[in-house]
Amino acid sequence: MDKLVITGGKRIEGEITAAGSKNSSLPIIAATLLSGSGTFRLHRIPDLKDIATFRQLLGHLGAETAFEDNTLTVSTARVESVLAPYELVKKMRASIYVLGPLLARFGHARVSLPGGCAFGPRPIDLHLMAMEKLGAKITIETGFIDAVAEHGRLRGAEIDFPVTSVGATGNVLMAAVLAEGTTTITNAAAEPEIEALCQFLRAMGAEIEGVGTTTLTIRGRESLRHVEFENIFDRIEAGTILAAAAITGGSVTIRGVIASHMEAVLRKFAEAGCRVDTTEDSVTLQSTGRLTATSIAAEPFPAFPTDMQAQWMALMTQAEGTSEITDHVYHERFNHIPELNRLGAHIEIDGNRALVHGPQALSGTKVMSTDLRASACLVLAGLVADGATEVLRVYHLDRGYERIEERLRSLGAKIRREKYSEFG
């Protein structure tokens, strides 16, 4: 296995271009299943484990893919299978994204049930409820979701989500664009990644209104076409790099961003005492040498994202005062707290909120990452900890950050990747 060894105390300084978004790539790649017309060319796709897993999944279904220089080409003309096997779904929950497009194009899908995850139960009931509304008959047996369009083709419906779900919104969108008639989704997720999916589907010929809002209206089409498309930037990777500059007292400019996708996070950086400047496609953060405790509550977009909650907590260990961190999306997403405390942080859990008392000097040791963003949080802590921090089980990080150690090194961090064995 790989670990990252970080020697703290170096400032993060310089310029970097934002990577492509993981969370928009996944539904966009799944959406290629909607059309067998030709070869898709998708640009700015990050080179990540999850993307490789998704390629494997598409390959299993019969699609042909190639990946070079962050451009993914996909041809789904020869897709024959509608079965997403356990071995791939268990590696990546986002495999559930093939349910909507397979069902819409072939009238049938069989997708293994995803298991739990490191930060609590993550149900898929909303995905299934929505597919049923669109006219799918769903049975669950031997660990598989078996979905069949009862009339051969899905039918438009009114879908009101009781909880905002990025995944369920994306799945319904992909199902509804080929359904007969009109579908309306209320309380839809308005995350930039869903907006990007809508733009992609529109480019394919889909009719979607309300893009970027929480009410989406989709008029189903008979067929869609293949396209060339440029993916959006990864607002979570960008936010993590800004946090790296903020926690080390440095300064960084990230190019290739859309600042409005990061507004809630940028406001918090400013509130915490950092200088933040934006242009149309760049963001610059400069440390003022002082961080003030700043509370956050993670909620659906446009509020502060749950995927930045752990990184924010790392930052707050260095801030003056007590900050309160609440996660309303995933109440149990606090696996990073015991590890941060092992590095010397003083964080208490009180129900679904964490109280971070700062500033605390951190000192390097071995820490274990348990999920993607928790790992990013530990890397940030390592950047400011005294001595060497070893972040074990880096495979979590590799699911969502492209060449993280190279990118941080290019900004001045002292960080290297090493092999190790967990058995001695």
Q: Which residues of the shown chain bind ligand UD1 in the complex (CB under 6 A)?
A: 23, 26, 94, 122-127, 163, 165-168, 189, 193, 306-307, 329-330
Q: How far apart are CA 65 and CA 224, in angstroms?
A: 19
The burial of 257, by beta-carbon neighbours within 10 Å (0-12 exposed, 13-18 middle, 19 or more buried), is given as buried
Catalytic option among 117, 198, 274, 377: 117
To ligand UD1, the closest distance from the beta carbon of 385 in angstroms equals: 26
Q: In the Cβ-directed half-sphere of 278, how many Cα atoms lie within 13 Å?
A: 17
Is 274 part of the annotated catalytic residue set?
Answer: no
Cβ proximity of 210 and 216 under 8 Å: yes
| Crossing angle of the two packed helices 192-203 and 22-31, in degrees rounded to 10 | 30
Which residue number, 273 or 302, has a Cβ lying nearer to ligand UD1? 302
Q: How far apart are CA 388 and CA 365, in angstroms?
A: 6
To ligand UD1, the closest distance from the beta carbon of 212 in angstroms equals: 16
Which residue number, 163 or 361, has a Cβ lying nearer to ligand UD1? 163
To ligand UD1, the closest distance from the beta carbon of 189 in angstroms equals: 6
N-term to C-term CA, the chain: 12
Which residue number, 114 or 249, has a Cβ lying nearer to ligand UD1? 114
What are the residues whose beta carbons fall under 8 Å from the beta carbon of 274, sequence distance 6 or more? 246, 285, 286, 287, 288, 291
Q: Report which DSSP code applies to 98.
A: G
Distance from CA of residue 249 to its chain's centroid? Answer: 27
To ligand UD1, the closest distance from the beta carbon of 125 in angstroms equals: 5
Q: In the Cβ-directed half-sphere of 66, how many Cα atoms lie within 13 Å?
A: 7
Which residue number, 18 or 411, has a Cβ lying nearer to ligand UD1? 18
To ligand UD1, the closest distance from the beta carbon of 120 in angstroms equals: 8
Q: How far apart are CA 266 and CA 276, in angstroms?
A: 7
Which residue number, 339 or 371, has a Cβ lying nearer to ligand UD1? 371
Q: In the block, which residue shows the tokens 């699911």?
A: 399
Which residue number, 16 or 329, has a Cβ lying nearer to ligand UD1? 329
To ligand UD1, the closest distance from the beta carbon of 47 in angstroms equals: 16
To ligand UD1, the closest distance from the beta carbon of 376 in angstroms equals: 12
What is the per-residue DSSP string for 117-162?
A: BTTB----HHHHHHHHHTTEEEEEETTEEEEEETTSS-B--EEE-S
Backbone angles phi, psi at 345, to 5 degrees: -75, 165
Cβ proximity of 154 and 81 under 8 Å: no
Q: How far apart are CA 424 and CA 418, in angstroms?
A: 14
Q: Report which DSSP code applies to 292.
A: B
Which residue number, 307 or 390, has a Cβ lying nearer to ligand UD1? 307
Give the active site residues.
117
